[in-house]
Amino acid sequence: MNDTVPVPPLRPDATRARALLELVSSMRFAISLLTVICIASVIGTVLKQHEPMGNYVNQFGPFWTELFFAIKLNAVYSAWWFLLILAFLVTSTSLCIARNSPKIVADLKAYKENIREQSLQAFHHRAEGWMAEAPEAAARNVGQALAGAGWKVRLQQRDAGWMVAAKAGSLNKLGYLAAHSAIVLVCLGGLLDGDLIVRAQMLWGGKVPYGGGGMLADVPARHRLPTTNPTFRANLLVAEGTQSHTAILNQSDGILLQELPFSIELKKFIVEFYSTGMPKLFASEIVIHDLETGEAIPARVEVNHPASHRGIEIYQSSFDDGGSSVKLKALAMDGSPKTFEVDGTIGASTELARGQQAGSDKMTLEYTGLRVINVENLAGGQGTDVRKVDLRESLDARLGAANKTTTKKTLRNVGPSISYKLRDAAGQAREFNNYMLATDLGDGVPVFLFGMRDTPAESFRYLRVPADDKGSTEGFFHLRGALNDAALREQAVRNYARQATDPAKPELAQQLAASTGRALALFAGAETGPGKAPGGLQAVSEFLEANVAAGERARAGEVLVRILNGALFELAQASRQQAGLAPLPRDEKTQAFMTQAVLALSDAFAYPAPLAFQLQDFKQVQASVFQVTRSPGRVIVYLGCALLIMGVFAMLYVRERRLWVWLSPQGAGSQARMALSSNRKLMDLDREFDRLRDRILGGKP
């Protein structure tokens, strides 16, 4: 009687640890992690990363902004949970490789020559035949034939005969290891080149983001990363004729400064445009000044053609203004003749004194941008004859290149524009965008475009100020000032009534003068009050709604607008006479000017600032924005990508096959039984088995 030794049961802790290890190293766990990473990557692609909080508030509102910041959706790729998922994915894949590698390596070495001859009958691909040679000679001949065909062969002698074991396509197993190793390498390279190192320095190195203002040279050391930082991806802005060696890493709550072992001097920035206004070429002629050796290295940086120095890549990212100087002319929106000019620099600001503005509150003029080229599509005003039906033209408009549209574009450079902000004493700011030159938008009257918006999330709304006979805004603003002058309004009313009525009927002239004076006063805002429109056509419309029956408003409105246009023309003549200018001729050009002027005068009451600033002159200074990166993980990622390609190719296109041939003595020859197996059942396998059978057994069943 044999004594059996009882096996002690596993402790609960060991059982739970083994179950946890099985879970972490399982395929379902890795696929779940990959799914979460894909979802997070989509969020990080759609949602702009590392933007200021105000941008998220403007776009999504305060509730969603707080949620985004709480779960770090504004910085997905550096969020602790994203890095943790990557770490778990690396751990899971590594454990899976460690668990399966010994079995794969052992399987690569094994030929499975110990298989029993009876087992060959269980394979789907099997055949039997007779060979004239003795078992040993037949086995060697079969082995040589298979080896010549690329198979790895091993012979085994048994008491009852010889077994020939062969295998091919072993790279299929290596493809599994290569693909899984690639995932580990790509994740490690991503972690190394990501924000992990910077976060570690912030956590253990005492580095904190800087949220203040001022000069970069005045930023304390705790906000700066050393030149020995092993990995970073930062932006560097360099204006023409200047150099810099301090790059900026944007963070959600501020910035970090990255010191470089060299400085970049921008000699010249080159930008070329397509006819559509889109940039065609960014290029920077730079000089790299090594801070350690003092060496000056000239280089050229273009998009997709970076420069490199001391293991740091210098990419052309974009371009910006490098501190262009501008001269602006202030125009009072109430038409007062007092104007002044201000000189400024893009990125700077000017305090407006109380005597310079039409109001008592202090205002700050901030120069935010200068664009020398503005290519706009001016085809929006073109009409279409809907009665015309041309099948060939219709098909041609819709077929062909993918970028072809049914709407024809009229692209034209409308000249320079200036962007600025007016900030009041409370800190509230509105943004303005004004064009320097007058533009014909299709109605035959060149207009100056004065744009405004309350928040960056809005589009610009434009006030169209018509250009006078000299191509300036003076004629319009003379008319705007005259609209506020009661004496000039009265003179214009008298002139219009005298010209529009028969001198023999003075009572009719008095009635027309009374109606014209009332209409002009409403339009000028002289009869405004609480809850009423400040003036313009809206005030006239409110008057009609309050005093004219609904059925008569259309006819009364036409009459009132005709009277108003005539009075405004006489007001324009009076304003020009007061300014010592020649009167306007009574022609179609003047009529088009007055039509646009009436609309602009009405819209001017809604202009949100007392002053509009028109660009008079500028001296452009361009700047280049470089992305400087040190990415040691890039080589690891490239290696991982190469392994992934080879691994997927090996698993999909390389079939592992194993072949056995059992040779036993039968008479003067040998009885042969062969069987073939593969990890994938394909039609090619049937054809390959037929070729092997014909080659080994000579086609004999």
Per residue in 113-127, pLDDT (tens digit) is 889 888 898 898 999
62: phi then psi, degrees, rounded to nearest 5 = -65, -35
Strands (E), 382-504: 411-413, 417-423, 429-435, 439-440, 446-453, 461-466
Residue 106 has pLDDT above 90, yes or no: no
pLDDT tier for residue 405 given thresholds of 50, 70 and 90: low
512: phi then psi, degrees, rounded to nearest 5 = -65, -40
Q: Which token pair is 356? A: 């310079």
CA 454 to chain centre: 24
Q: Which token pair is 652? A: 């999909």
- What pLDDT is recorded for position 5? 52
CA torsion angle 154 157 163 169 (round to 10):
-10
pLDDT tens digit sequence for 146-164: 999 889 999 999 888 999 9
How far apart are alpha carbons 253 and 260 in whole angstroms? 23
Mean pLDDT of 206-229: 86
Q: Which token pair is 687? A: 């054809």
Q: In the chain, pLDDT over 70 holds for what percent of residues?
A: 90
Q: Would you call 246 exposed, middle or buried from its count of C-beta atoms within 10 A (0-12, 13-18, 19+)?
A: middle
Q: Which token pair is 208? A: 């904190």
- 201 touches 225 (CB < 8 A): yes
Q: In the chain, pLDDT over 90 holds for what percent of residues?
A: 30
Residue type, 230: P
The strand pair at 232-239 and 224-225 is best described as: unpaired
CA 519 to chain centre: 51
- Where b means 16+ CB within 10 Å and e means fewer, 126-144 reads bbebebebebeebbeebbe
Residue 634 has pLDDT above 70, yes or no: yes
- 330 touches 356 (CB < 8 A): yes
- 515 touches 594 (CB < 8 A): no
How far apart are alpha carbons 179 and 184 in whole angstroms? 9
- What pLDDT is recorded for position 387? 38
- What pLDDT is recorded for position 13? 64
How far apart are alpha carbons 207 and 204 in whole angstroms? 8
- What pLDDT is recorded for position 408? 62
Query: Can you give the length of the chain in residues?
Result: 701
- 623 touches 237 (CB < 8 A): yes
170-179, 357-366, 666-675: lowest mean pLDDT where? 357-366
What's the alpha-carbon Rg for the chain, to the nearest Å?
41
Mean pLDDT of 373-382: 64
Return the HEC string of 308-345. EECCEEEEEEEEEECCCEEEEEEEECCCCCCCEEEEEE
3-state secondary structure of 286: strand
Predicted TM-score of the model (pTM): 0.67
- Where b means 16+ CB within 10 Å and e means fewer, 444-473 reads ebbbbbbbbeeeeeeeeebbbbbbbeeeeb
Which residues, at least 6 apart from 427, have a Cβ–Cβ distance to it below 8 Å? none
**Mean pLDDT, all residues of the chain:** 84
- What pLDDT is recorded for position 326? 94
Residue 663 has pLDDT above 60, yes or no: yes
- What pLDDT is recorded for position 386? 37
pLDDT tier for residue 7 given thresholds of 50, 70 and 90: low
